[in-house]
Amino acid sequence: MRYPLGIAGLFPNIATPDSWNRKDRHPMTKRIIATPRQLPAALAGMLRMKYEVREPAGPVAAADEFTMLADGAEAVFATAFDEMDEAFLSTLPETVRLIASIGVGVDHIDLEAARARRIAVSNTPEVTTPCLADAAMGLIIAACRRFREGLDIAKTGEGRGMLTPESWGQRVSGRTLGIVGMGNVGKELAKRAKAFDMNIIYTTPRPSAEIDAAFGARAVSLDELFKQADVISLHCPLKEETRHLIDAAAIEQMKPSAVLINISRGPVIDEEALIAALQSGRLFAAGLDVFETEPGPIRATLRELPNVFCLPHIASATLESRSAMAARLLANIDAFFESGAPLDRVA
């Protein structure tokens, strides 16, 4: 993949090689970073200015190939699509002391196994927050207004479709938004929803009067949120207790007119239960950026439903977010090699 903008154009906030000192540009010995997948050319080039980067010959390394690539490496690069369980970590050489993951979620890494091996794990939090909230708000509008069905009609050339009541969507403004997980992204979504005059309820382990005052919001139990919300947006990490948080029993508590939004992690939703509810009319619509079957393909039954608006895991896919993620990744690696601890340590 070629990036015509070059490193500086794609990552405008990152110092270019000419601005680094001579020691950084021409180290006597470069530290080694191994990656199980080929990196975008700009990111690989940026890292190579300071480190030796070992990539697989193909898009993704086979297990035995990566073991050879990681020989002598001190850090391993990871994405959300690189499953690093206990078995994988056991194949890493003793030299590896950091897994630098790009993105917020770290459910693809066995953190306990990493701790047992004394391997630090870092992520890139917060830098994608505005773009994630933008994507969630976009999905709310698209799902409520049935833009997927409208797009399908427009593709036929028809200029006046969806004229009957059974094909109409729902107004967004004035409805009740239930945010499951009022962290950074949940708060940014609440800010956007407030501009749409939405009533905001939320559930979080740490509700506060400050959150309530800032967004005119109200903390409720999860069961209350399911029953009261017109739109339910998921912003919780994937843990054992959140896996299939939205199952048939949870859906049964929701309004038949409810719209479900997910930009967190696919397995938070039991997709078979969701498909059944959308097919039967038990739920009005869904807007999804993540899927239970990742990194495999989206279930055909799900993506073909007219009341589902699907995006291919692109909530953070903006020049601004990816630039900031790359900068934060490099900052974590730099900090680890300089001080022994990454800036954003999660294990």
Residue 338 appears among annotated catalytic residues: no
Q: Exposed, middle or buried: residue 324 (CB in 10 Å: 0-12, 13-18, 19+)?
A: buried
Residue identified by tokens 């990036």 is 3
The reported pLDDT for the residue numbered 62 is: 87
Q: Are residues 166 and 122 in the same domain?
A: no
- How many Å apart are CA 140 and CA 190, to the nearest integer? 12
- How many Å apart are CA 310 and CA 317, to the nearest integer? 15
**231 falls within a domain:** yes
pLDDT in tens, 205-264: 999 999 999 999 999 999 999 999 999 999 999 999 999 999 999 999 999 999 999 999
Residue 294 appears among annotated catalytic residues: yes
Q: Are residues 102 and 149 in the same domain?
A: no
Nearest to 328 by CA among 120, 43, 130, 5: 43
Q: Are residues 88 and 198 in the same domain?
A: no
CATH number of the CATH domain containing 108: 3.40.50.720
Virtual CA dihedral for 142, 148, 150, 152, nearest 10 degrees? 160
Q: Are residues 99 and 29 in the same domain?
A: yes
Give 163 or 245, the one with higher predicted confidence: 245
Task: Tell me what the pLDDT averaged over the chain comes to.
Answer: 91
Q: Which residues contact 238 (CB under 8 A, 6 or more apart)?
A: 105, 107, 264, 265, 267, 268
Catalytic entry in 145, 235, 313, 328: 313
Say whether pLDDT at 1 is over 60: no
Q: Are residues 332 and 201 in the same domain?
A: no
Q: Are residues 24 and 122 in the same domain?
A: yes
Q: How confident is the model at residue 28 (pLDDT cuts 50, 70, 90)?
A: low
Q: Are residues 14 and 161 in the same domain?
A: no
Q: How many domains does the chain have?
A: 2
Please provide the size of the chain in residues.
347
Residue 313 appears among annotated catalytic residues: yes
The reported pLDDT for the residue numbered 63 is: 78
Q: Are residues 112 and 14 in the same domain?
A: yes
Q: Are residues 217 and 295 in the same domain?
A: yes
Q: Are residues 134 and 120 in the same domain?
A: no
**80 falls within a domain:** yes
| Domain with 142 in it | 129-310
Catalytic entry in 265, 292, 322, 328: 265
- Quote the pTM value: 0.86
Q: Are residues 93 and 159 in the same domain?
A: no
Catalytic entry in 52, 126, 224, 294: 294
Q: How confident is the model at residue 131 (pLDDT cuts 50, 70, 90)?
A: very high
Amino acid at 129: T
Q: Mean of the pLDDT values across residues 56-72?
A: 91
Q: How confident is the model at residue 326 (pLDDT cuts 50, 70, 90)?
A: very high
- How many Å apart are CA 135 and CA 316, to the nearest integer? 8
